[in-house]
């Protein structure tokens, strides 16, 4: 059997993937992590992604996430390579050859499972490392709607306030290492902010490459209003002092998005379970957290009536 037909997607992950309405895929173009909202299908032998634009034959990160947080959160991540692209009507069908699959399911705080994080690593060969030319398949962006700087409109500020879903953050150490992760976010002045766990992959990526992208879709549902941002990290503040200085804003984000607060019993219990669980290899304590601020360069957002607006900030 051809190597490219060998991977067997775990049955548990196939069933897990059926619960989600939309997926997110990221690749790296000119050092900029790019993120797309896509349709998808996960079978025991293949991961298929449907997009209105052709994606490069390159290393990708494919993510699934619900609109919940903490113990109610369900997230999945596939790291692999796009190996085939086929035009199908008005869309492109892409096949992802997986290298690693990670997913977390919701759980009860009263009886946490043996495994909070499920991991599968494939030992098969994924073919040759993509040539640099593979990353040049997409033309350099020439966005006519982004020729001039714009002030962020009121309707977009209101959208930032009303969307309760996590944002999906795309980071990349280099062209071969795109990564996606859900974050609890808030918008403060000119920047998107979030508090990141110590020692996480996204932190290491942001140290190596300041360029990032993020997307949020209301309810994580098809046709939900949302926004997409390309920008760069302007600051990463470590330790408990920046956490304390921004305590009010972080607590507001928790209250509006998570329906919780820093002193809630469930939140404290969730942190204790995570910090002690053998599946977790990063620190979630406030002393080792990182306050990240992202300044947007481009913002694309769409309303409930499917109107799409693109801005250069």
171-33-48 Cα angle (round to 5): 100
Is 51 among the domain residues? yes
Is 226 among the domain residues? yes
Predicted pLDDT of residue 275? 73
Lowest mean pLDDT among 82-86, 91-95, 196-200, 210-214: 196-200
Predicted pLDDT of residue 297? 95
Dump pLDDT digits (tens) for 34-81. 999 999 999 998 899 999 999 999 999 999 999 988 788 999 999 999
252-257-259 Cα angle (round to 5): 80
Predicted pLDDT of residue 190? 87
Could you give the 3-state DSSP secondary structure of residue 218? helix
92-95-96 Cα angle (round to 5): 130
Distance of alpha carbon 48 from alpha carbon 78, whole angstroms: 12
pTM here is: 0.86
Distance of alpha carbon 264 from alpha carbon 293, whole angstroms: 25
Dump pLDDT digits (tens) for 136-161. 333 333 333 334 445 788 899 999 98
Is 182 among the domain residues? yes
- What is the chain's percent helix, strand, coil content, to nearest 5? 25, 40, 35
For the residues 176-191, what does the mean pLDDT come to? 91
Determine how many CB atoms are found less than 10 A away from the CB of residue 303: 13
The enclosing domain of 215 has a CATH number of 2.30.110.10
Label residue 162 exposed, middle or buried (CB < 10 Å: 0-12, 13-18, 19+): exposed
* Residue 271 predicted with pLDDT over 80: no
| Residue located via tokens 């896509």 | 38
Pair 154, 36: CB distance under 8 Å: no
Predicted pLDDT of residue 283? 63
Closest by Cα among 239, 181, 227 to 205:
181
Is 292 among the domain residues? yes
Is 55 among the domain residues? yes
Is 140 among the domain residues? no
| Residue located via tokens 């080792």 | 288
Dump pLDDT digits (tens) for 118-136. 999 987 554 444 343 333 3
Better-scored residue on pLDDT, 3 or 50: 50
| CA atoms in the 13 A half-sphere facing the CB of 201 | 17
Contacts of 230 (CB under 8 A, 6+ apart): 32, 34, 211, 212, 213, 296, 297, 298
Predicted pLDDT of residue 284? 63
Determine how many CB atoms are found less than 10 A away from the CB of residue 157: 11
Is 137 among the domain residues? no
Closest by Cα among 198, 168, 224, 154 to 291:
198
Closest by Cα among 37, 33, 64, 9 to 176:
33
Predicted pLDDT of residue 132? 35
Give the range of the structural domain holding residue 109, as residue numbers without chain letter: 3-123+148-312
When pLDDT is cut at 50, 70 and 90, the band that residue 287 belongs to is low
Better-scored residue on pLDDT, 173 or 211: 211
For the residues 255-272, what does the mean pLDDT come to? 73
Lowest mean pLDDT among 20-34, 38-52, 104-118: 104-118
Distance of alpha carbon 47 from alpha carbon 13, whole angstroms: 11
CA dihedral 89, 92, 96, 101 (to 10 degrees): -100
For the residues 259-267, what does the mean pLDDT come to? 70
User: What percent of the chain is predicted at pLDDT more than 90?
Assistant: 51
When pLDDT is cut at 50, 70 and 90, the band that residue 197 belongs to is confident
- Looking at the structure of the chain, the number of domains it has is 1
Predicted pLDDT of residue 88? 81
Tokens for 92? 């492109």
For the residues 260-272, what does the mean pLDDT come to? 73
Pair 206, 233: CB distance under 8 Å: yes
Look over the chain and give the mean of its residue pLDDT values, rounded to a whole number.
83
């Amino acid at each position: 059997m051809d190597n490219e037909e060998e991977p067997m997607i775990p049955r548990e992950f196939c069933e897990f993937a059926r619960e989600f309405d939309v997926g997110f895929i990221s690749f790296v173009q000119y050092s900029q992590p790019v993120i797309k909202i896509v349709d998808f299908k996960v079978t025991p032998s293949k991961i298929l992604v449907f997009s209105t634009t052709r994606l490069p034959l390159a290393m990708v990160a494919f993510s699934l996430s619900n609109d919940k947080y903490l113990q109610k959160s369900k997230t999945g991540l596939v790291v692999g390579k796009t190996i085939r692209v086929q035009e199908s009507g008005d869309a492109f069908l892409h096949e992802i050859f997986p290298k690693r699959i990670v997913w977390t399911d919701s759980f009860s705080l009263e009886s946490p499972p043996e495994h909070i994080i499920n991991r599968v690593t494939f030992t098969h060969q994924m073919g040759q490392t993509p040539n640099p030319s593979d990353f040049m398949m997409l033309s350099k962006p020439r966005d006519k709607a982004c020729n001039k700087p714009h002030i962020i409109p009121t309707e977009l500020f209101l959208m930032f306030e009303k969307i309760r879903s996590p944002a999906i953050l795309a980071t990349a150490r280099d062209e071969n290492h795109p990564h996606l992760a859900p974050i609890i976010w808030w918008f403060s002045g000119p920047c998107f902010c979030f508090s990141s766990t110590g020692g996480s992959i996204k932190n290491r990526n942001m140290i190596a490459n300041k360029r990032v992208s993020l997307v949020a879709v209301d309810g994580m549902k098809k046709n939900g209003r949302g926004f997409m941002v390309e920008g760069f990290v302007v600051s990463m503040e470590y330790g408990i002092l920046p956490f304390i200085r921004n305590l009010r804003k972080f607590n507001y984000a928790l209250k509006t998005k998570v329906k919780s607060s820093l002193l809630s019993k469930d939140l404290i219990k969730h942190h204790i379970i995570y910090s002690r669980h053998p599946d977790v290899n990063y620190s979630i304590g406030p002393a080792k957290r990182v306050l990240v601020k992202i300044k947007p360069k481009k913002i694309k957002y769409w309303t409930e009536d499917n109107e799409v607006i693109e801005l250069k900030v």
